[in-house]
Amino acid sequence: MKETTAITGREKHKTIIRSATNEIVADEPIDLNGKDLGFDPSQLLTASLGSCTSITLRMYADRKEWNVEEISVKVTLNDEDKNNPILMRIIEIKANLDEQQKSRLLTIANACPVHKLLSKGIEIITKMKN
């Protein structure tokens, strides 16, 4: 089971997000009364998909012993239509790959765990601790 805790104190929207071993800061941009001290929640979502995709591709390329210098994954969230939000993912790989290798990496990108989770949908259960 994966677990994080988000803690927001009195400093407006600044939120400390902790796992068992790491910590990051989230915040809102200045135009939403934050101080822009870290990623906003939507950026954390796009970062999750981007980083999972990049890591998955790196693991696969390394296992295949392909000479891949760098993998870049840009993810954009378009949520203007609240009933149909779209995540656009653009993958750039610095390597000398043939079309078959590129096609395989695209398939592997769609198999990253966060992609699978977001594609299937997820049930959210919320409880208040006493």
| Number of alpha helices (DSSP H) and beta strands (DSSP E) in the chain | 3, 5
Please tell me the predicted confidence (pLDDT) of residue 130. Answer: 84
Q: How far apart are CA 55 and CA 53, in angstroms?
A: 6
Give the closest residue to 92 by CA, choosing from 77, 109, 78, 115: 109
Mean pLDDT of the chain: 95
- pLDDT > 90? residue 88: yes
Residue 57: count other Cβ atoms within 10 Å of its Cβ: 20
Mean pLDDT of the 11-25 span:
95
- pLDDT > 90? residue 121: no
